[in-house]
């Protein structure tokens, strides 16, 4: 089976306590992992362990964003995702439109966005 080529990934509240994520090893890519420090479903220590494990791969960057006070479902803590969207807009590969890159612009409708800029 051919593995998909990816430029990067975002993982929100990954189940690091259930899976070892070794499936990422054949296709090392930089990425962003977002989770809450009050997550009772996936403990903070397990996600941090996953991040540390992924960071050992050469040539990639793994960023970790911990949302203070957020549980597994980010109840009442959706605003920090606006910053993640803006970051993606800045870091997306150039030469293609935002739609082709799969990136919503800062004023694009999104489930977590209450209005425009």
Do 114 and 79 meet the contact criterion of CB atoms below 8 Å apart? no
Rounded mean pLDDT, 63-78: 90
Check residues 32 and 79 and name the one with the higher pLDDT: 32
Token duo for residue 34: 């977002």
Q: For residue 78, what is the DSSP state?
A: -
Q: Check: pTM over 0.75? Answer yes or no.
A: no
Q: Residue 85's closest CA among 13, 16, 26, 32?
A: 32
State percent of the chain over pLDDT 90.
Answer: 32
Q: What is the pLDDT of residue 92?
A: 55
89 backbone dihedrals φ, ψ, rounded to 5°: -60, -40
């Amino acid at each position: 089976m051919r593995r998909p080529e990816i430029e990067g990934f975002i993982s929100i509240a990954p189940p690091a306590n259930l899976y070892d994520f070794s499936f990422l090893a054949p296709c090392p890519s930089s990425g962003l992992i977002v989770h809450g420090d009050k997550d009772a479903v996936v403990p903070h220590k397990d996600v941090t362990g996953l991040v540390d494990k992924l960071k050992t791969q050469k040539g990639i960057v793994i960023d970790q964003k911990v949302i203070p006070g957020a549980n597994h479902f980010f109840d009442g803590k959706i605003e920090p995702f606006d910053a993640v969207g803006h970051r993606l807009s800045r870091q997306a590969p150039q030469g293609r439109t935002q739609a082709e890159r799969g990136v919503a612009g800062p004023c694009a409708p999104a489930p977590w966005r209450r209005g425009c800029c």
